Amino acid sequence: MLALSIRQPHASMIASGVKTIEYRSWGTKHRGDLLIVAAAYVPRLKQHRDLVRGCVVCLVKLVDVIEVEPRVHAWILSEPRLFPSIPVRGKQRLWTV
């Protein structure tokens, strides 16, 4: 299954359905199921230290990827489904779990 690593608090916002668009400098032809992994990296902001890191947080549907301007792509996400917090070592770009 393909996965995308995202830093907190954005990964939790996607899992809760609050965030439905993820902006990237690159696009993909993949559509369908996509695991969202909370990156292990945490910025030095104290308010995000309680959020899970380094694990799968949810499964979403990648509905579409729209180039909104050169080198800015909007990834449209829907149907977030919570996933057991399985520890995973994240990677850059899309990767296979």
Q: How confident is the model at residue 55 (pLDDT cuts 50, 70, 90)?
A: very high
The residue ranking higher by pLDDT, 8 or 59, is 59
Q: What is the pLDDT of residues 18-37, one digit of tens each?
A: 999 999 999 999 999 999 99
What is the predicted pLDDT for the residue at 86? 86
Q: Is 46 exposed, middle or buried (0-12, 13-18, 19+ CB in 10 A)?
A: exposed
Single-letter code of the amino acid located at 50: D
- Domains identified in the chain and CATH numbers: 2-85 (2.30.130.30)
pLDDT of residue 28: 97
CA separation (Å) from 63 to 9, 26, 27, 29, 52?
A: 22, 16, 12, 11, 25
Class of residue 58 by CB neighbours under 10 A (exposed 0-12, middle 13-18, buried 19+): buried
Average pLDDT over residues 56-73: 97
77 to 10, 27, 29, 53: CA distances (angstroms): 13, 13, 14, 20
